[in-house]
Structure 1
Amino acid sequence: MSFLKADTWLDVFLHLLLIAALGAALVLGFFYVYLPITTHHGETIVVPKITGMTLADLPAYLNERKLAYFVDDSSYAPGTRPFTVLTQEPAPGEKVKQDRKIYISVAMRRPPVIKMPKLTDGSVKNAQLILKSYDLEIGQLKMVPNVAQNAVLKQLVGGREIAPGAPIAKGTKVDLEVGDGLGNTEFEMPNLLTMPEDEARTLLAGQHLEVGEVFKQAAESGQTPGTVVRQRPVAAPGATIRMGQLVDLWIAE
């Protein structure tokens, strides 16, 4: 063990130089040999395209490529199968390290329920923009006689009117009744007196007139309950009315 003896300053210097060399070798070996082996330094994996795949197929597909995934969002996509991958991050083609998680969003099973917006009293173009912003589908546009051209008069789902604020699922089709601007066509005011209420309503609808207020009053002598005993406007000789106008009714009880 004579080489460990430090009899002279030269021996001390050589010992220090040897210690420094060993230390440098350890540091270099740690950073350039040990770490690259344990962290796969320099090894990258190209991210595959997984949008459009179903969630059930991802584990096996990504395990083969030494990648993982994490669902961080979900949204409703009309016409898309539930649990289909909609977006991914990192994007396809990017290079990542082994075991990197790919963050994805998937399509929901059921559409979320929202509040029905108010479309009436606005233009049909504005209504279409609102429906699109709410992720609602534009259904049938029915043009009806009315002086308010291109104005939305009714909003319907499945043939029934739906009030603003009512619950509705995203993706639902909403039908619209829209004024055609022809409500200025005049014709003779129909006489509804003594008609049963349902017949009077049918007649008004057939002539593109709207039922206004309906008043109930006690039947007088000679009046049949359930029939029209008064109307406004009255059906006087020469009286005319325009399409889309309101007709108030008084019904005997």
Structure 2
Amino acid sequence: MVKISTQSRKDLFIHIGIIIALIAALFLAFFFIYLPLTTNHGEAITVPDLRKMNVEELEDFLDERDLRYEVSDCTFVANMAPLTILSQYPQPNSKVKEGRKIYITVVSRTAPLIKMPKLTDMTLRSAQMLIKSMGLNLGTLRYVPDLAHGAVLRQYYNGQEILPGQPVAKGSKIDLEVGDGLGSTSFPVPSVVDMPLDEAKFQIVGAGLKVGQVIVVNDDSKEAGTVVRQNPESGNKIRIGDVIDLWVVGPLTDSSSDSNEEPQLD
């Protein structure tokens, strides 16, 4: 029977120990040297702020920082250049690993079409709120003499009146024509003397004025229902919405009488 000497056993243990040490060294080197070098373990890249940049310059910008990007959504924004970046994820200054993909939302090239809302007969404030909610922009306001103070009278796009329901690009400017009440423009008082009362009323209302008191008078030289006097008299200056009082030969018929006429005078 062959006996193993004490020296041989000692050499065997030494070799086994060396092998175990080499295996442990390789194990530690793999996890603590090789992997960190190949995966940048423990290193992070700060995400730059991409907002307001253009997509066309983004690829080179991110390549220099070992990052990538992907367009996740497009939306239209008035007064912003197409392909401008609106938002991003991860957010600016976030810490990410090399090669991380950044998801971005950009401004689309073309504006979607929407139906033009009905702004006429609305107050200016209500029209402004509706314009904003529809994604449109308020353009020029033009005030015109009209009894409907502060009301929208007409709506225009590119200088042309646009009707409700017609297509218009989102973000377009809509110009409005608004009534300014009595108005600041004065004009000569129209003459209704010697006209029948009904015709005189039609003339007054058609000029944007109001019929005031209808005073019945006697005048045998004139036919009944004829206007013989007015106040203010023709030739004076008047504004839209002002009142004209009339003196009319009586008696008046039911069709030409007025609820505010006074008793017959001599």
| Cα distance per residue 1:115-172 (max 9 Å; x no partner) | 1112122110111111122221211111122222111111111232212221000221
Q: State how far apart, in whole Å, the 1-side matches of 2:191 and 2:101 are.
A: 74
Output aligned runs, 1:148-163, within 5 Å: 148-163=148-163
Gaps of 5+ in 1: 4-14, 191-203, 210-235, 245-253
State the match for 2:82 in structure 1: 82
Identity of aligned residues (%): 48
CA apart distance, 1:62: 0.5
Q: State how far apart, in whole Å, the 1-side matches of 2:170 and 2:191 are.
A: 44
State the match for 1:56 in structure 2: 56
TM-score, normalised on structure 2?
A: 0.58
Q: State how far apart, in whole Å, the 1-side matches of 2:117 and 2:125 are.
A: 14
Instruction: Say which SS state the counterpart of residue 117 (structure 2) adopts.
Output: coil
- Is the 8 Å Cα contact of residues 145 and 208 (structure 1) preserved in structure 2? no
Residue identity matched to 1:42? G
- Is the 8 Å Cα contact of residues 70 and 101 (structure 1) preserved in structure 2? yes
CA apart distance, 1:31: 5.5
CA apart distance, 1:22: 10
Residue identity matched to 1:63? D
Residue identity matched to 2:111? P
State the match for 2:126 in structure 1: 126
- Structure with bigger gyration radius: 2
CA apart distance, 1:27: 7.8
Output aligned runs, 1:1-253, within 5 Å: 32=32, 35-182=35-182, 188=190, 237=227, 243=240
| Cα distance per residue 1:56-93 (max 9 Å; x no partner) | 11111101100001111112222322212222222221
Instruction: Say which SS state the counterpart of residue 176 (structure 1) adopts.
Output: strand
Q: State how far apart, in whole Å, the 2-side matches of 1:168 and 1:27 are.
A: 69
Q: State how far apart, in whole Å, the 1-side matches of 2:118 and 2:144 are.
A: 19
State the match for 1:226 in structure 2: none
Q: State how far apart, in whole Å, the 2-side matches of 1:178 and 1:148 are.
A: 8
Residue identity matched to 1:133? S
Q: State how far apart, in whole Å, the 2-side matches of 1:208 and 1:157 are.
A: 27
CA apart distance, 1:48: 1.2
Q: State how far apart, in whole Å, the 1-side matches of 2:62 and 2:108 are.
A: 22
Q: State how far apart, in whole Å, the 1-side matches of 2:24 and 2:230 are.
A: 110
Instruction: Say which SS state the counterpart of residue 127 (structure 1) adopts.
Output: helix
Q: State how far apart, in whole Å, the 1-side matches of 2:143 and 2:74 are.
A: 38
State how many pairs are aligned.
189
Instruction: Say which SS state the counterpart of residue 126 (structure 1) adopts.
Output: helix
State the match for 2:222 in structure 1: none
CA apart distance, 1:100: 0.8
CA apart distance, 1:36: 3.5
Residue identity matched to 1:67? L
Q: Closer, same or farther in 2 for the Cα pair 1:71/1:208, shift >3 Å?
A: farther
Q: State how far apart, in whole Å, the 2-side matches of 1:38 and 1:154 are.
A: 69
CA apart distance, 1:38: 3.9
State the match for 1:219 in structure 2: none
